[in-house]
């Protein structure tokens, strides 16, 4: 049994009874022992993240990204979790509503200034010398305001789409906006709106054989997965799981390392699409020799 204590206020245990013995037995007697043992460790990696960081699974989109990646390499023993509504779903809807209404009010004010300038141009008498006055609609400030008004209309549309998705879909991913950043020319850039993602991105996986090495790649494609895995408030699930599995020989390798080793062995990496196209053989045909 391996005790996992990622947070002082929370102690959980992941039972790995017999796992080491199973790995040793597979390596000794199974002709595909090394790949099979690595698959067991990949499955255990996802189970550790699922159990230890259960309180952070707000919508189950993050953990399902890894489970989908497991399914991609043929490990179907871990079922997908049901997608659920975020605990802050109502707060997100209210925030998106306020954002949309604020853009509408700003657009009305801008349109009022534009209409006033056009009306004044229509009513202004000529100058004393009889020449027409310079049109406000031809001045630089007016053209700039007109461009900003058109951008505001587009931002209103984007804000309404996000609000509509949040009200019509339960399992959403809320993306926080930010204020405009100071640019090098001294101007402030355009702020990014709060938005939502209703699409389920999932994940993908791949198993690679490099000589005696077996490398399994599990990619979580959910947009917020990088935030969860790099910010201290979430407990570093990937790092924690790899530390627990390091006693069994698991270690991280970079994508650059995989590509370099494949080049040295004159092998071509099979893409995820090619693997899916050969479902019946995807556990045995993992590389294609360029010379074949």
The pLDDT value given to residue 110: 95
169 in the same domain as 96: yes
Kindly tell me if the per-residue pLDDT of 233 is higher than 50. Answer: yes
Q: CA distances (Å), 68 to each of 72, 162, 270, 280, in order?
A: 6, 26, 19, 18
- Angle 36-57-254 (CA atoms, 0-180°, nearest 5)? 45
In terms of Cβ atoms closer than 10 Å to its own Cβ (0-12, 13-18, 19+), residue 131 is exposed
Kindly tell me if the per-residue pLDDT of 292 is higher than 50. Answer: no
The pLDDT value given to residue 288: 34
The pLDDT value given to residue 67: 92
Global pTM value? 0.69
147 in the same domain as 111: yes
Q: At which of 149, 178, 197 does a domain end?
A: 197
268 in the same domain as 180: no
150 in the same domain as 53: no
192 in the same domain as 118: yes
pLDDT band at 287 (very low <50, low <70, confident <90, very high): very low
The pLDDT value given to residue 188: 62
The pLDDT value given to residue 182: 65
Question: Which of the two residues, 276 and 176, has the higher pLDDT score?
Answer: 176
134 CB-near residues (< 8 Å, 6+ apart): none
Q: Hey, is 7 helix, strand or coil?
A: strand
145 in the same domain as 70: no
- Angle 77-80-84 (CA atoms, 0-180°, nearest 5)? 160
Kindly tell me if the per-residue pLDDT of 280 is higher than 60. Answer: no
Number of domains the chain contains? 2
Averaged pLDDT score across all residues of the chain: 77
106 in the same domain as 49: no
Q: At which of 175, 197, 219 does a domain end?
A: 197
- pLDDT one-digit tens code per residue, 43-70: 888 888 888 888 778 888 989 999 999 8
Mean pLDDT in residue range 79-104 = 92
pLDDT band at 98 (very low <50, low <70, confident <90, very high): very high
Kindly tell me if the per-residue pLDDT of 203 is higher than 80. Answer: yes
Percent of the chain predicted with pLDDT > 70: 74
206 in the same domain as 70: yes
Mean pLDDT in residue range 255-276 = 66
Mean pLDDT in residue range 97-103 = 94
The pLDDT value given to residue 157: 94
Q: At which of 197, 218, 247 does a domain end?
A: 197
Domain, as residue range, for 189: 89-197
């Amino acid at each position: 049994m391996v005790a996992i204590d990622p947070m002082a206020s929370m102690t959980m245990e992941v039972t790995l009874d017999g796992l080491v013995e199973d790995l040793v037995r597979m390596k000794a007697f199974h002709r595909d022992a090394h790949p099979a043992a690595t698959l067991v460790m990949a499955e255990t990696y996802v189970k550790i993240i699922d159990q230890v960081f259960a309180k952070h699974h707000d919508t189950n989109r993050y953990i399902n990204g890894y489970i989908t990646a497991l399914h991609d390499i043929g490990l179907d023993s871990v079922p997908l979790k049901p997608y659920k509504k975020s605990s802050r779903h109502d707060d997100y809807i209210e925030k998106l509503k306020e954002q949309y209404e604020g853009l509408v009010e700003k657009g009305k004010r801008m349109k009022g200034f534009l209409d006033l300038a056009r009306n004044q141009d229509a009513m202004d008498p000529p100058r004393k010398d009889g020449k027409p006055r310079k049109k406000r609609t031809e001045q630089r400030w007016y053209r700039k305001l007109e461009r900003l008004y058109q951008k505001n209309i587009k931002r209103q549309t984007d804000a309404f789409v996000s609000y509509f998705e949040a009200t019509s879909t339960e399992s959403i991913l809320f993306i926080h906006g930010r204020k405009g950043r100071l640019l090098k020319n001294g101007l402030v850039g355009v702020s990014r709106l709060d938005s939502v993602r209703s699409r389920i991105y999932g994940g993908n996986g791949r198993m690679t054989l490099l000589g005696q090495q077996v490398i399994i790649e599990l990619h979580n494609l959910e947009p917020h997965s990088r935030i969860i895995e790099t910010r201290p408030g979430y407990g570093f699930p990937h790092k924690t799981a790899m530390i627990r599995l390091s006693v069994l020989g698991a270690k991280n390798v970079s994508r650059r390392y995989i590509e370099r080793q494949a080049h040295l062995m004159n092998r071509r990496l099979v893409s995820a699409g090619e693997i899916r196209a050969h479902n019946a053989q995807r556990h045995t045909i993992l590389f294609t020799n360029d010379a074949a």
